[in-house]
Structure 1
Amino acid sequence: MKRLIQRGLMFGNLIRVDSPALVERYNRALERLIGKRTGLDDFHIDISGYSYEIGEELGDHLYLNPNGVNRQFIILTTEQRKAPLLNAQFSTSRGILKQFIEDNEAKLFALTAQDAVAGELDNSVFQVTTPDRLFDIRKITVIADTTHSHVANARKLADRIERFQTEPDAWFDDVLIAEMIELARETGDVTRNPIDLDRPSYTQDNFWTAHFGGIYVFRDAEHPAAITARPRSEVGEMPVATFDLSQRNRIASFLEQNKLVEPIIKARGVDGAAILRQKMDFILVDAATTQGLPVAGFDPRSLHRLAQTMGAKLPEEFLKLNELVRWALNGGKWPRIASDSPAYFYTLRARPDHPDRDLINQLLAELAPLDVRQLFICHKPAFYAAYMGWPEAKKDYVADFLQHDYMANKAGAREALFGGRETAVKDSPRPPGDDIIALVGPWGAVRR
């Protein structure tokens, strides 16, 4: 993993915490959340405040995520919104945290100037003991306050002010006035400088979870389903149709019936042939390095010679994608690729306008794992797990490619590959009367 870290492909964009004041604020928040402190003088945190170094120190990398269900967080700076989420158990967690920070940036900036903000992504489910319990998770509510309870005290003070202004005998209530004075010492003038934090809620209808080896839940699709990395027989009873990653025909049918994907070669505004050619390079390098064949270089000319040398040893994925590229460049008979072909899912991408575009592309990355660029972008845990088993030559090639091709223009690469901007999390609709916080086959018929 060292070459990935050196190239900024692992543990990149983390926030360094190295000042005594920030370390102390972090420790106060950590003690409030889990009753522990760190003895480290400097460390790095992700968007949630999780630190790999502290996880090693405590011997618990779920120290801010007990049971992997209700993610706790510590915010020291609003700059954390740019950081990744490490050790994610749900695909929606980073999007929720990022949106919460962005929506409350001014308030958080003021609060974190003197204290840490600690909180939780509360979903009312405290433990997921069986896969079907995942369907009990529907809404995520963000609850947060400083370690000195500035937000809670501000709400109390606002309530006391309301009583003072509306109750007829409040001017003579010495206890009420004393409470207001004491609270104001902590919060300041909340009428001029409100410091209340919203408690937004977000729906979690469709998501991926790392629980039980990895499960995709598509609950609000027209034809709901769950897709599991473990064999279907090991998952047990589920409230929707469920199949595993080996059941490729059923997955293809699900994607087609719900209109979730489109063929890359026919996508508007992209060079589909160029994208498929790059996938072919990834497949070629994997085949060559796995077979122990010497690779003279990774430039287009060297890879072309390598493909000629391999001849009959070229994998089916490479040959099928080459048929599509040849059709795109020269026309002729449309190359039909059935869903049971190992090349099938390499030819697809999520519909750019779909609200679950990123989740669908993550699923496709698992189904087409030799496309290392998409695997890295869409499913980093799967990428890192696969990377550890690759030959050294492939590790070098992939690390260099991602550093020079993807990292140089991440936004441009995402736009070209997947279309559109990063998808936003879905707000939960505001309940009526709630005046505080809303709790809130493209290639022909699919073989069955």
Structure 2
Amino acid sequence: MESASFRVLAGVLVSLCTSSVFAGSAGFAGIAASADSAETASDNPAGMSRLHKPSASISLMQATGLGTFEVDEGQTTTNGGDPDNDLNPVMIPQAYYVRPFTESLHGGISLTIPSGFGSEYGSDWAGRYYTDSYSLVYVAVTPALSWRINEQWSIGASVGINYISSQSEVAINTLVPGAADGKLEANLDGVGTNFSLSLLWEMTAKTRFGLVYTSESKTDIDGDLKFRNTGPVIGGLLERGVLGDKIEVEQVMPQRIIGGIYHELDSGAFIVADLAWVEFSRFGTNSVSLDGETIDVEDSGFNNFWAGTLGYGFPANGGLRYTLDTFYVQAPVDDSKRTLAMPLDRMWGIGAGVQVDHGNGKAVEFNLHLVDFGESPVDTGPSAVRGRVVGETEHPYAVIISGAYHF
């Protein structure tokens, strides 16, 4: 298993900074106020007013987790031991385009993956009755507009059109001694929308502040449930029509606010910082309908959280620019409420990058980050059907490599 903790927290991080690298910024820092490349169409639409000619960027982030979830066999009551160990990297591509319509009015569009959450445990491990695999992927197409009010103030707005795909598998305990496990699979998808409002205050030619609000998005995703080898209990419920195979879920992506500052020093070096708040207590499943019958959903147990970034960049000879940055994401869930499907913990990281300016608005950028995403201890508590699973992530570290081409 590539640590599920890392996959989930990669999703949280990307939901804050939807592009993987930022021209004029420092790695993951500079989300709200850098506004020096086409990524601003997604990060802060008001910042498009700073771009005086058509601009585009494409970027790719590759994240590889090094940690593995290890089961505490002394406290776990089901057999199977540790989950599979899959070290395949997470790949996140993005694309952006900005075009001036007039001196004051700019338009842009972005294709991003604002978050991707998931876990890949395998079907034979100790926690298979809680989750075999889980994925929740958002793909967003976001048109945006900006309006320059005067030399100092710009405002922006965007509408996110979000396609959501969710896939999950879980083993079923048939409660028949010696019988093989059953299986439940769910494949759901749907389309939803949200919006962003933003502003950029260019206090001086070298100092600017940005503020971005992104609304909550509610999306109805639906699909089919597939049961295999269910055993006498669930099989009987299916035969009597008590359980159906059509499901609809209202999935919520939470609202967030990000504020930031960019300040250029007399030497040409610059400092950037961001502070973000995410209403993560609203994240997840809001309601479930099974064959038209609504089922109550328990509180997800997630908490609202804060995140912060700090970056420093400085120019060098030959069109080079170097950057250093650090970031911290508060844990979105208490230890007692952490689940195997969403093993979230706090996260912090440090990074360095280099940009090569080729002139005429063209540049190539590379960044490297080292991340500690937390041990994410989980204790499911006792269950007569699913058993108790206790464990945590060992060596919870990751390497993130990102690059972009600006033109």
Structure (1/2) with the larger strand percentage: 2
- Do both share a fold (TM > 0.5)? no
TM-score with structure 1 setting the length: 0.22
Structure number, greater radius of gyration: 1
TM-score with structure 2 setting the length: 0.24
